[in-house]
Amino acid sequence: GNSVTQMEGPVTLSEEAFLTINCTYTATGYPSLFWYVQYPGEGLQLLLKATKADDKGSNKGFEATYRKETTSFHLEKGSVQVSDSAVYFCALSVDSSNTGKLIFGQGTTLQVKP
Amino acid sequence: DAGVIQSPRHEVTEMGQEVTLRCKPISGHDYLFWYRQTMMRGLELLIYFNNNVPIDDSGMPEDRFSAKMPNASFSTLKIQPSEPRDSAVYFCASRSPNRNSGYTFGSGTRLTVV
């Protein structure tokens, strides 16, 4: 079946540290991959996406590269800020009938300390 | 665009009472999804609609839960009777016809059943 596995949190970093949140997936077909972010008390927001192998999604200093050979879509940021503290969700969409149903990972909490 | 609008933001009700959660998707989006988020279970897809028609309700936990989408601009999720274990944050999300566009989530309804 289709599934997403994320590294467990919380991930605690100091401001300006380098961030990696690991995400691996299992999918039939050719998935599209997404990262969503959820700030406290809010809904999920699309952070970035990649729709085919070797694509790199980027937004707000975050990047993730779609690696088909390792079935991974790790999220990275070179220098985190306190305002990046949130829960990050990796997700995939595998769909031949265009439902676009997303399968989410369990989420990884990031805490950035000043 | 005002985004996906959910109401109410917070709901506190007594066990046994009926609860109705409301969602207005983004205009032009043809998919609508209802999710439930808890610490224990993470994000769970309850049901989703395409062009106002329910496509998959396999995630609805039991017969106490029902969802409707009478038109393209409105959906409801009803719990009757409510129980304390239904306490969670309920999110509505909508998606455009482009399956790679990702979802737009509402801000959620925090339900507490006492």
The pLDDT tens digits of the residues spanning B35-83 come to 999 988 888 999 999 999 999 999 998 899 999 999 999 999 999 999 9
pLDDT at A94: 74
pLDDT tens profile B98-114: 777 778 999 999 999 99
Which two three-digit tokens encode residue B56? Answer: 């998959």
Structural contact between residues A65 and A48, judged by C-beta atoms closer than 8 angstroms: no
List, as ranges, residues 1-20 from A with C-beta within 8 Å of B.
Answer: none
Nearest to A43 among B55, B56, B105 (CB): B105
Give the span between the Cα atoms of B114 and B87, in whole angstroms: 9
Mean pLDDT value across chain A: 92
**For residue B99, which amino acid is it?**
R
Residue A17 above 90 pLDDT?
yes
Helix (H) or strand (E) holding B13: strand B10-13
pLDDT, tens digit, 9 for 90 and up, residues A77-110: 999 999 999 999 999 987 655 566 788 999 999 9
Rounded average pLDDT over B23-45: 93
Q: Cβ contacts (< 8 Å) between A102 and chain B: which residues? A: 33, 45, 102-103
Helix H, strand E, coil C: the string for A59-81 is ECCEEEECECCCCECCEEECCCC
Residues of B with CB below 8 A from A49's CB? 100, 102
Specify whether the CB–CB gap between B106 and B5 falls below 8 A. Answer: yes
First to last CA, chain A: 41
Search chain B and give the residue with CA nearest A42: B107
